Structure 1
Amino acid sequence: MNLTPREKDKLLVAMAAIVARRRLERGLRLNYPEAVAFITDFVVEGARDGRSVAELMRDGARVLTRDQVMEGIAEMIHEIQVEATFPDGTKLVTVHEPIRDAAPAPRAKAKATPRQKPKASAKPKVRAKAPPAPKRAKPAKGARR
């Protein structure tokens, strides 16, 4: 089988992502190459599925958290650039700060309280208008300034 260097790179990233996925499933933290491969694979596969560049940039930063990588790895990776093949061609996807703190758990929504109507005795607030500016007198005909 003859593969181009680009095809070999894609296969290497895909294989590293598989290893990373297995390690995450076992509860292990990822090292630098595994974390980069995992996020890169997410972007490549998302592009193949037809997701937009904006979606992949946003969601690529939510794939891994600091708790899933070894200490210091999150600080080492500031951005990941992936040249991914979309249905309409190849595009460069940049994921900024791809490893962040875990998102806080969603809060339970509080019941909406109905707005209270103002009391009938309450007077509406009225702003006072500024007095009109005095009119300037017109100069008489023939007068000079």
Structure 2
Amino acid sequence: MAAATGPRTARSEDGEVDAVQLTPHEQERLLIHVAADVAAKRRERGLKLNHPEAVALLTSHILEGARDGRTVAELMASGRKVLTRDDVMDGVPEMIPDVQVEATFPDGTKLVTVHDPIV
């Protein structure tokens, strides 16, 4: 029998569901998406993004694109259109020469590299 790989729930002694238990990998992905959501809302308010916010937004774009079935080549190209220099604080583009994300595609896990993601 295969081991469960998705989110699990914990039950208390009275049988009530207490919480969803995520693997460290799932926790990391969730944190990325939450940070990207915060970054997107800040950008919508006209705030310039800092380094962690920019990386989160770029990473989430790649993860979601892979989930949607886009190709590595498509994500490498579209990853350069997510943010502009006007979207981020001074110096941030130079701090992110490339972004590498290990994303799950329909045919397996692949490394997506976006060079110079902020133009």
**TM-score scaled by length of structure 2:** 0.83
1:49-88 to structure 2, matched below 5 A, reads 49-88=68-107
Given residue 99 of structure 1, which amino acid in structure 2 is its aligned partner?
A: I
Aligned equivalents of 2:77, 2:103: Cα separation in 1: 15
Question: Max radius of gyration: which structure?
Answer: 1
CA displacement at 1:62 relative to structure 2: 1.1
1:26 to 34, 39, 45: 45
1:121-136 to structure 2, matched below 5 A, reads none
RMSD: 0.6
CA displacement at 1:3 relative to structure 2: 1.1
The C-alpha deviation readout for 1:46-102, integer Å capped at 9, x for no partner, is 0011100001001101110000000000011001100111111111100101001xx
Name stretches of at least 5 consecutive residues in structure 2 with no aligned partner: 1-19
% identical aligned pairs: 65
SS in 2 for 1:99: coil
Q: 4+ residue stretches of structure 1 with deviation over 6 A?
A: none
**In the alignment, which residue of structure 2 is the partner of 1:37?**
56
**In the alignment, which residue of structure 1 is the partner of 2:108?**
89
More strand by share: 2
Given residue 18 of structure 1, which amino acid in structure 2 is its aligned partner?
A: D
Aligned equivalents of 1:20, 1:2: Cα separation in 2: 26
